[in-house]
Amino acid sequence: MNIGDKFPELLGLDADGKEVKLSDYPGKKFIIYFYPKDNTSGCSMEAVSLKDNYDTFLQMGYQIIGVSKDSAASHKKFAEKYSLPFPLIADTECKLCEFAGVWRMKKMCGKEYMGIVRTTFVCDNDGTVTDVIEKVMTKTAADQLFKLLEGRGEINPA
């Protein structure tokens, strides 16, 4: 997905099997982040960074939604382990990942495989992409987003 593209109304099912729709968050803009796998070091650091700043994002008018191909059960354990307050989409068939263009060929240790390329999309309140972060800094993901939003004039520098 690129700037100007729009996410679908129905994003998928969360860890409890409940449908997650953009319209579930009236008046909110969105931070939709795609990550490779629950309970890995980078993905855990990214989730905790966003969790620790979740109230600030809500005050700024943003809802955070995480997406990976892990199962609902895996997401539930991951969310409980780190007390994540935002929904995690269980995109087990990679439909949303493919739609967003983050399901791609990757390489590790000389082997090629299909996987999720860690990417964060900032969207307006109808799901239209306004910014894309392709080089996510997992440990400081929230700070990276704050700098982006500050550059857009959405927040004042501290």
**pLDDT (tens digit per residue) in 23-48:** 999 999 999 999 999 999 899 999 99
pLDDT at 157: 47
Span between the terminal Cα atoms of the chain, in Å: 32
Three state DSSP letters for the chain: CCCCCECCCEEEECCCCCEEEHHHCCCCEEEEEECCCCCCHHHHHHHHHHHHCHHHHHHCCEEEEEEECCCHHHHHHHHHHHCCCCCEEECCCCHHHHHHCCEEEEEECCEEEEEECCEEEEECCCCEEEEEECCCCHHHHHHHHHHHHHHCCCCCCC
Hey, what are 36's tokens? 């490779």
Residue 158: is its pLDDT beyond 50? Answer: no
pLDDT in tens, 105-139: 888 788 898 999 999 999 999 999 999 999 999 99
Contact (CB, 8 A) for 72 and 15: yes
Q: How confident is the model at residue 155 (pLDDT cuts 50, 70, 90)?
A: low
Residues labelled as active-site residues: 43
The model's pLDDT over 47-80, given as tens digits with 9 standing for 90+, comes to 999 999 999 999 999 999 999 999 999 999 999 9
Q: What is the pTM for the complete model shown?
A: 0.93
The whole-number pLDDT of residue 43 equals 94
